[in-house]
Amino acid sequence: MSLKSETLLNELIELTQRNIDAAKLFTTYSIEQLNWKENPKSWSVLECIEHLNRYSDFYLPEISQRIQESKSIPAELFKSNWFGRYFSKSVSYKENLNKMNTFKSMNPLNSELNISTIEKFITQQHELLKLIDKAKAVNLDKTRTAISISKLIKLKLGDTLRVLIYHNERHIKQAESVLKTNKNG
């Protein structure tokens, strides 16, 4: 996959803004609605958001550091490799979501959560928008980041941003679905 770097970053900005808008809408629901879940093993709206917060706790500092350290100049085109395409596709939103297991450290099941979970998410997404803007000044192919499952594996910055933002969209949509399933929601 190859596309203009500017096009990719603009698409990611738009998707991040949609995720922020959805999260802001979640704040209009009661804490009971936000903590409701269909069954003991499923996630509530707040657990979906907390899961995203935990990933952002890793990725935002990682992306920031790699952009800061990058000595590369921007390239017109971003060329994803097979691993980046596979990883971003596997976490992206699809109408019929395939269930995926998450690492224990990233699983918020049965956490005590409140509205601050959503506030943290919104704050992190605004930080992500700033990082996307800074990414315009570096080469999205040559700047590489570690991934949360192994610091030994590196992804191109363009792919890392895609993975993080597609993953955010996936769980925002999951949270929206939880609200629709809740008969009292």
Q: Residue 4's beta-bridge partner residues? A: 77
Q: Residue 78's beta-bridge partner residues? A: 3
Number of separate domains in the chain: 1
18: CATH = 1.20.120.450
Amino acid at 59: Y
Q: Alpha-carbon distance 184 to 176, whole Å?
A: 14
Q: Alpha-carbon distance 21 to 6, whole Å?
A: 23
* Predicted structure pTM score: 0.92
Q: Alpha-carbon distance 121 to 73, whole Å?
A: 31
Per-residue pLDDT of the chain (185 residues; tens, 9 = 90+): 789 999 999 999 999 999 999 999 999 999 999 999 999 999 999 999 999 999 999 999 999 999 999 999 999 999 999 988 988 988 888 776 666 677 676 777 788 999 999 999 999 999 999 999 999 999 999 999 998 877 778 999 999 999 999 999 999 999 999 999 986 65
